[in-house]
Amino acid sequence: APAGFGRPAPLPQTGWERLRELWRRDEGEQFPEEALNIAKSAFTAGVVGWLYGGLPAFVSARKAFVERSHGEPFQNRADAVQSAHRAGLRSFIRYGWRWSWRVTAFATIFNVVSTGLSAYRDKTTISNFAAAGAFTGALFRMHLGLQGLAGGIMFGTAFGIPAGGLLVAVYGLAGETLQERRSRERRELYEQRLAEWQSRLSVTDVLGQTENNAQGRPEMERAKEL
């Protein structure tokens, strides 16, 4: 059928189909809200991690520079202040980056796994976040052996349960989860497109019947003349 006149694609029925839809652009070339939320949370985690690691390092490095520089000659007070700030800034960049990429990676993996589980199971529960936290914690600590792996699982689960509980509570106040809203909007859009397709199909049938009737009249007239 020509583009725009074919039957609308059916709703995803399996978990794998719903997973593929998470990373597929719509007709407006926009990614789903879940994928955008993952990107936003990764950026926020990076900023928070940088501040968490950078600010204490800045203060500590500046204080250490002041303590070490007693008796050192400076051109003036402004030169001494600038030197202290440069020392703190170097530590801010160095230690801020160390924390930033770790927190970003942890948050991104956690959100990808929890969002994927919610899409695959077609429901949002605390167990999804607990499993995502356990997987992420194990991934980060697996290089330390079995003991580190067990510790990572425990830490990730302890992080995932309250985080999931908070999100589920927020969704409860909103009346529906993100997955439920997406399913509802997808179903409503499908029903709308199906109704439009059926309407176009009925119009096409009427036009086809009219054309057939118009072609049949001359033949009937010629038959009467004979």
Mean local confidence (pLDDT), 88-100: 91
Predicted pLDDT at 75: 56
Grade residue 1 by pLDDT with cuts at 50, 70 and 90. Answer: very low
Give the Cβ contact number of residue 39 at 10 Å. 12
**Cβ density class 132-145: b for 16+ within 10 Å, e for less:** bbbbbbbbbbeeee
Q: What count of other Cβ atoms lies within 10 Å of the Cβ of residue 82?
A: 12
Average pLDDT of the chain?
80
75, containing H or E segment: none
pLDDT of residue 70: 61
Alpha carbon dihedral 183, 187, 190, 194, in 10-degree steps, equals 170
195 in helix, strand or coil?
Answer: helix
Residue 211 has pLDDT above 70, yes or no: no
User: From CA 65, how far away is CA 86, in angstroms rounded?
Assistant: 10
Spell out the residues 6+ positions from residue 108 whose beta carbon is closer than 8 angstroms to its own: 38, 41, 42, 45
State the Cα–Cα distance between residues 58 and 52, nearest whole angstrom. 11
Distance CA 114, CA 178 (A): 12
For residue 176, the SS3 value is coil
pLDDT tens-digit map of 161-210: 998 888 888 877 877 777 777 777 778 887 888 888 778 777 665 555 66
Residue 217 has pLDDT above 70, yes or no: no
Q: Determine if residue 8 is left, alpha or beta; phi over 0 gives left, psi from -120 to 50 gives alpha, anything else beta.
A: beta
Q: Which amino acid is at 107?
A: A
User: Which three-class secondary structure state does DSSP give residue 125?
Assistant: coil
> Looking at residues 78-94, what average pLDDT do you find?
80
112-155 per-position pLDDT tens digit: 999 999 888 888 889 999 999 999 999 988 888 888 889 999 99
Give percent above pLDDT 70 in the chain. 80
Q: Which residue's structure tokens are 């955008």?
A: 36
SS3 23: coil
Q: Which residues contact 77 (CB under 8 A, 6 or more apart)?
A: none
Neighbours of 33 (CB within 10 A): 13
What is the C-alpha separation between 32 and 9, in angstroms, rounded?
17
How large is the average pLDDT for residues 62-77?
Answer: 66
pLDDT, position 153: 92
